[in-house]
Amino acid sequence: MKKSFVVYAGLLVAGLAGCASIGAEQTESLLSAATFNMKLADTPTKLAKLKALPQNKVTPITRNGKLYYIYADAAGCQCIYIGNQAAYQQYQQLRIAQNIAADQAAAAEMNQESMMDWETFGPYQPGFF
């Protein structure tokens, strides 16, 4: 019983950590899939400007009266991802779908674990739960 609790607690913590923060590589992959444009900071001036932006988070900005979303990664790809409102909405949908898939995988793994110990309780009887 104690072993199962430790396994469940570990899976829960891992699942929550995954939902709270997805890695930069996953984020960049989702941004690309959502039609954000990637621009490299291929000069010292561009890299300096890139470093001045909020790092590794999608940030809304307004330029010439239009709303855009940017994602700067100076330490990793040394690039910026730029998208409009439609691209951002698509990115949000992809993130939600990814989180649902991760939750379903964690739940399936937890169900598999619990089924391994089911015999501890004896044969199934209607009304048991």
pLDDT tens-place string over residues 54-96: 999 999 999 999 999 999 999 999 999 999 999 999 999 999 9
Flag the least confident range among 11-15, 82-86, 107-111, 120-124. 11-15
Give the contacts of 19 (CB within 8 A, at least 6 positions apart).
Answer: 99, 102, 103
48: in domain: yes
77: in domain: yes
11: in domain: yes
Which has more confidence, 46 or 116? Answer: 46
113: in domain: yes
Q: Closest Cα partner for 36 from 52, 54, 58, 20?
A: 58
pLDDT confidence bin for 5, thresholds 50/70/90: very low
Give me the pLDDT at residue 111, please.
Answer: 65
Question: Using CA of residue 7, residue 13, residue 14, residue 15, what is the dihedral sign?
Answer: positive
How far apart, in whole angstroms, are the C-alpha atoms of residue 51 and residue 46? 9
Q: Domain range for residue 40?
A: 2-117
What's the domain count of the chain?
1
How far apart, in whole angstroms, are the C-alpha atoms of residue 69 and residue 66? 10
Q: Is the pTM of this model over 0.75?
A: no
124: in domain: no
127: in domain: no
Name the residue type at position 88: Y
pLDDT confidence bin for 4, thresholds 50/70/90: very low
pLDDT confidence bin for 117, thresholds 50/70/90: low
**Alpha carbon of residue 59 to chain centroid:** 16
Flag the least confident range among 4-13, 33-42, 52-61, 66-75. 4-13
129: in domain: no
